[in-house]
Homo-oligomer: A and B are copies of this chain.
Amino acid sequence: MVRWKPGTAERLQKAALELFATRGYEQTTAAEIAQAVGLTERTFFRHFSDKREVLFQGQELLVQAFLDGIDAAPPEASPLEVVAAALGSAASFFPDERRPHSRTRQSVIDRNPALQEREQHKLTTLATTVADALRARGVDELAAKLAAESGATVFGIAFTRWLREERSLADIAADVLAELLTLAETAAQALRPTR
């Protein structure tokens, strides 16, 4: 007989998402989430530093997918090529089967500004981590930051589209990145013409 089942955090996350989706985020207290899995409020806060975090913990795996993609890129790849590789790797983290769950989660986030803030913060953290990994490859600071932030932007836009469309995230992300490159080329021609 085990007194404490494993996977407490996961059960709390599942219960939280269900409650948030039905009752709403603000209308759900941390104590209610804890109760739903037979725990106390105090235990909830042992697992999650704050109430919002229950929806975001677990994203370290996504970050790791980005880093794996970076490691897999050939050494001579340019910064944005490395980012393209990272995007491909990250996309595999969201197979199409995961779409329904992601949709539910996102609908909760979209309805609450506090959760949107946290989501953006996580995206920025991701960009910072990617930038560090690029710098470790020898990319200079400015290029690393720009490439990493651009990667985060592309990922964010592609992810939003993936929730609505039925195509794979990898395909969508590749298209979004391609569009960014096209925009830049067009602007580069205009801003510094014929050299």
Contacts and interface: CB of A to CB of B under 8 A. Distances in A.
Interface in A100-156: 113, 116-118, 120-121, 124, 142-143, 145-147, 149-150, 153-154, 156
A182 B80 CA distance: 10
A183 interface: yes
Given A142-B157, A149-B153, A153-B149, A187 B79 contact: yes
Interface stretch (A9-17, A91-99, A173-181): A173-181
A121 B183 CA distance: 25
Contacts of A181: 184, 187-188, 191
A167 to B, nearest CB: 14
Do most interface residues of chain A lie in helix, strand or loop, or is the interface mixed? helix
A80 B150 CA distance: 14
A59 interface: no
Nearest to A187: B80
Contacts of A188: 181-182, 184-185
3 shortest A-B CB distances, which residue pairs?
A184-B184, A80-B187, A181-B188
Interface of A: 77-81, 84, 113, 116-118, 120-121, 124, 142-143, 145-147, 149-150, 153-154, 156-157, 176, 178-188, 190-192
5 contacts: A113-B121, A117-B120, A146-B176, A146-B179, A185-B185
